């Protein structure tokens, strides 16, 4: 194998699994260390800069970081990254004075359609640079689906208010209650750029017999959740069936439990494991006495005199074809009808752009989605950008934020007269953490603790009031314990071959058998000759040559604990522990692009 180029910004970034998996690339270990030190405000600001909504995400994020967490490969469970983020938000001091100052306007005007996470992220990045940002939303307050679709018992209004205010207070004009129903009209107002962050606002229909006849008791999940959110709906029948296996279905069933639903069931086409809902959301639903029934496909709504009486299901089983694709085929059992008073349909969301005239210069594809560049988020109209669910269909908040950062960068570059396809590289800092012999600037002692559970409010109390938050969040002590589980994967093992005398001290001390000195070879061959098995080929091998014996040093990054013992044991300082910090490029980053430095 070729020696690893550790100066490439991506190499060490990938080693920080959580950060690499995060769409916004939040420097997770860095803020977890700050939480362990009790520096909650600092931890919050790192998050705020990167993911804009730490308090909201700390309660609702889909957590792509956690399945990626190295700890999950070392023991059973990853670090509770998401809930630690909430800790930073819960225990921070007043951070208003740390927010960017409202800057003098530069005369350029940006219109943002939709007041959800994508638009707010764009506005957050652009307003401090002097852009005049105007956010339009049909709802009276900012937040989009974060406010309308996420139940208050998961995300209280106070948290949304606080974090949307941080952004709106940057001198952003928010026009609530103002639905944009014509892009053409908006374009006629001569904005310098338009950002579309209108989400995926339409709930998918379930067109089966009885749908029309029993319509009075069949509700589309996200619309129903929004109605609950705004206080238009306060009751539901005693027996409720929720159709669908995603997170919206979980929100629906738990909300129904609080509005009078005593017998609430979730019925899902697929098996339990393949459900789209996050495991922890399924757990929370089950905890609230909501059974989840699997492998049942709804075939008809039964009704009597225009009143819904139940749902009939066909039983199916999963079969896998030669290519491993799953097909649901009839199980051959008789259909089952489950009686109910109300049905909530949460079988998916769709984009809808009836308000975009097809002659605005924006091309649509055959699925009626706008053609959007995946890197710059520009549409085929160079002044119109898309982001969040509006760009590539339903995802989640953290993706919307990541899109927002990239779109803001594009808008800023376009309005600075630069090529938006040229994306400036992120800024990377790598610095030694050595403070003395056996002394590092980070706590390298590895905690053996198992994942700490987040305390929940008592179920009886929680189910009484729809606005009572269920999760109480970690207290300071629990947070410290959980923070100590982080392996500090951003503190990298950096090897310098010229200093190495091949004494094997690092090999002998490494608790995870990560390091091997051996003859070089092709990757597969090398992986087979390592000191410990190397099952995860997506995890890099760090290869260094230039040793006196002609061998190479190979380190499998897979399960390295970043404990620094290799560096402590190294007599010549050939190993060092160096902290890797990557500053993702946002609009207005000081990092000079080629174009700018040439100017």
Partner 1 sequence: MPGLVPGIHDFLFLGQDVDGRDKPGHDEAGIAGVVMTYIAKPKFQHPGLPKNDLGFTHRDYEGKVSTLCAGCGHDSITASIIEACYELSIEPHRVAKISGIGCSSKTPDYFLGNSHGFNSVHGRMPSVLTGANLANRDLIYLGVSGDGDSASIGFGQFAHSIRRGVNMTYIVENNGVYGLTKGQFSATADRGSKSKKGVMNTDNAIDLVAIALQLGATFVARSFSGDKTQLVPLIAAAIRHKGASFIDVISPCIAFNNHAGSTKSFDYVREHNDAVNRLDVITGREAISVDYAPGTVQVVEQHDGTRLALRKLDADYDPHDRLGAMTFLQKHAAKGQVVTGLLYVDPDADDMHAHLDTVETPLNRLEAKDLCPGTSALEKINASLR
Q: Which residues bind partner 1 (CB under 8 A)?
A: 73-75, 436-439, 444-446, 448, 501-505, 507-509, 511-514, 532-533, 535, 548-549, 559, 561, 563, 565, 568-572
Q: Is 569 helix (H, G, I), strand (E, B) or coil?
A: helix
Smallest gap from Cβ 3 to partner 1, in A, equals 22
Q: Helix, strand, coil % (nearest 5) of the chain?
A: 30, 20, 50
> Cβ(238)–Cβ(261) under 8 Å?
yes
Single out the residue of 341, 314, 316, 343 nearest to residue 211, CA to CA.
343
Q: Closer to partner 1 at the Cβ: 459 or 529?
A: 529
Smallest gap from Cβ 17 to partner 1, in A, equals 15
Cα separation, 141 vs 115, in Å, equals 8
Asked whether the CA dihedral 493, 497, 500, 502 is positive or negative, the reply is: positive
Which residues, in sequence order, are bridge partners of residue 556? 541
Query: How many Cβ atoms sit within 10 Å of the Cβ of residue 188?
Result: 9
Smallest gap from Cβ 501 to partner 1, in A, equals 5
4: left (phi over 0), alpha (psi -120 to 50) or beta: beta
Q: Closer to partner 1 at the Cβ: 329 or 528?
A: 528
Cα separation, 257 vs 337, in Å, equals 21
Smallest gap from Cβ 88 to partner 1, in A, equals 26
Smallest gap from Cβ 558 to partner 1, in A, equals 9
> Cβ(61)–Cβ(82) under 8 Å?
yes
Cα separation, 261 vs 240, in Å, equals 6
> Cβ(68)–Cβ(74) under 8 Å?
no
Q: Closer to partner 1 at the Cβ: 233 or 446?
A: 446
Q: Is 218 helix (H, G, I), strand (E, B) or coil?
A: strand
Q: Is 159 helix (H, G, I), strand (E, B) or coil?
A: helix
Q: Closer to partner 1 at the Cβ: 446 or 480?
A: 446
Residue 233 DSSP code: -
Q: Closer to partner 1 at the Cβ: 234 or 449?
A: 449
Single out the residue of 90, 68, 58, 72 nearest to residue 16, CA to CA.
68
Q: Closer to partner 1 at the Cβ: 330 or 535?
A: 535
By CB atoms closer than 10 A (0-12, 13-18, 19+), residue 538 is: exposed
Cα separation, 405 vs 376, in Å, equals 10
Which residues, in sequence order, are bridge partners of residue 307? 304
Q: Closer to partner 1 at the Cβ: 329 or 503?
A: 503
Smallest gap from Cβ 506 to partner 1, in A, equals 9
Smallest gap from Cβ 20 to partner 1, in A, equals 21
Smallest gap from Cβ 484 to partner 1, in A, equals 12
> Cβ(142)–Cβ(218) under 8 Å?
no
Cα separation, 580 vs 12, in Å, equals 7
Q: Closer to partner 1 at the Cβ: 242 or 506?
A: 506
Smallest gap from Cβ 444 to partner 1, in A, equals 6
Q: Closer to partner 1 at the Cβ: 369 or 509?
A: 509
Cα separation, 574 vs 506, in Å, equals 10
Query: How many Cβ atoms sit within 10 Å of the Cβ of residue 467?
Result: 10
Residue 7 DSSP code: T
Q: Closer to partner 1 at the Cβ: 289 or 508?
A: 508
Alpha helices in 5-98 (DSSP H): 9-15, 17-21, 28-36, 40-51, 54-60, 65-68, 71-74, 81-91
Cα separation, 406 vs 426, in Å, equals 12
Single out the residue of 389, 120, 149 nearest to residue 255, CA to CA.
149
The token pair at 420 is 């938006």
Smallest gap from Cβ 77 to partner 1, in A, equals 13
Smallest gap from Cβ 143 to partner 1, in A, equals 42
Q: Closer to partner 1 at the Cβ: 304 or 439?
A: 439
Q: Closer to partner 1 at the Cβ: 9 or 573?
A: 573
Smallest gap from Cβ 441 to partner 1, in A, equals 14
Smallest gap from Cβ 477 to partner 1, in A, equals 22
Smallest gap from Cβ 577 to partner 1, in A, equals 12
Smallest gap from Cβ 481 to partner 1, in A, equals 17
Q: Closer to partner 1 at the Cβ: 354 or 436?
A: 436
The token pair at 594 is 């080629």
Q: Closer to partner 1 at the Cβ: 74 or 478?
A: 74
Q: Closer to partner 1 at the Cβ: 428 or 507?
A: 507
> Cβ(52)–Cβ(124) under 8 Å?
yes
Q: Is 12 helix (H, G, I), strand (E, B) or coil?
A: helix
Cα separation, 536 vs 540, in Å, equals 9
Longest dimension (CA), the chain: 89
């Amino acid at each position: 194998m070729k020696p690893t180029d550790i100066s490439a910004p991506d190499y060490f970034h990938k080693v920080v699994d959580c950060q690499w998996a995060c769409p916004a690339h939040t420097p997770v270990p860095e803020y977890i260390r700050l939480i362990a030190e009790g520096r909650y405000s600092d931890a919050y600001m790192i998050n705020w800069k990167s993911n804009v909504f730490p308090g909201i995400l700390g309660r609702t994020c889909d957590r792509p970081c956690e399945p990626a967490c190295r700890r999950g490969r070392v023991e059973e469970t990853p670090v509770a990254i998401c809930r630690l983020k909430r800790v930073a938000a819960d225990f921070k001091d007043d951070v208003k004075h740390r927010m960017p100052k409202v800057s003098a306007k530069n005369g350029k005007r940006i219109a943002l359609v939709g007041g959800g996470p994508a638009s707010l992220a764009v506005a957050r990045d652009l307003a401090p640079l002097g852009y005049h940002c105007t956010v339009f939303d049909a709802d009276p307050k900012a937040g989009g689906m974060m406010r309308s679709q996420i139940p208050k018992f998961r995300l209280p209004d106070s948290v949304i208010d606080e974090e949307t205010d941080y952004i709106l207070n940057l001198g952003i004009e928010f026009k609530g209650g103002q639905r944009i129903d014509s892009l053409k009209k908006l374009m006629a107002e001569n904005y310098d750029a338009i950002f579309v962050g209108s989400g995926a606002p339409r709930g998918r229909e379930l067109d089966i017999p009885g749908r029309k006849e029993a319509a009075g008791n069949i509700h589309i999940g996200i619309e129903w959740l929004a109605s609950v959110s705004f206080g238009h709906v306060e009751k539901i029948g005693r027996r409720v069936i929720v159709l669908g296996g995603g997170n919206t279905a979980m929100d629906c069933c738990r909300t129904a439990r609080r509005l009078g639903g005593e017998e609430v069931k979730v019925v899902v086409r697929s098996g339990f494991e393949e459900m789209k809902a996050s495991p922890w959301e399924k757990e929370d639903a089950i905890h609230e006495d909501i059974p989840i029934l699997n492998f049942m496909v709804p075939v008809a709504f039964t009704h009597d005199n225009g009143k819904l009486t139940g749902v009939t299901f066909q039983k199916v089983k999963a079969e896998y074809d030669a290519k491993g694709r799953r097909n649901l085929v009839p199980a051959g059992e008789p259909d089952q009808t489950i009686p109910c008073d109300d049905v909530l349909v949460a079988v998916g969301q769709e984009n809808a752009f009836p308000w975009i005239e097809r002659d605005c210069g924006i091309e649509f594809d055959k699925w009626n989605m706008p053609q959007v560049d995946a890197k710059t988020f520009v549409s085929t109209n160079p002044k119109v950008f898309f982001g969040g669910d509006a760009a590539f269909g339903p995802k989640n908040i953290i993706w919307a934020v990541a899109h927002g950062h990239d779109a803001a960068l594009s808008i800023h570059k376009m309005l600075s007269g630069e090529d938006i396809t040229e994306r400036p590289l992120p800024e990377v800092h790598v610095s030694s953490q050595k403070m003395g012999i056996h002394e590092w600037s980070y706590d390298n002692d590895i905690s053996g603790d198992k994942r700490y559970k987040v305390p929940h409010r008592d179920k009886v109390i929680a189910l009484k009031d729809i606005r009572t938050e269920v999760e109480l969040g970690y207290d300071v002590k629990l947070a410290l314990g959980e923070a100590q589980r982080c392996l500090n994967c951003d503190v990298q093992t950096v090897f310098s071959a010229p200093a190495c005398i091949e004494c094997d001290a690092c090999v002998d001390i490494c608790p995870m058998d990560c390091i091997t000195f051996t003859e070089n070879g092709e990757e597969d061959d090398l992986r087979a000759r390592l000191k410990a098995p190397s099952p995860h080929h997506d995890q890099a091998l760090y290869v260094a040559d230039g040793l006196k014996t002609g061998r190479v040093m190979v380190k499998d990054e897979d399960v390295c604990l970043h404990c620094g013992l290799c560096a402590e044991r190294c007599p010549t300082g050939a190993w060092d522990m160096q902290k890797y910090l990557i500053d993702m490029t946002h609009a207005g980053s000081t990092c000079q692009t080629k174009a700018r430095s040439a100017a």
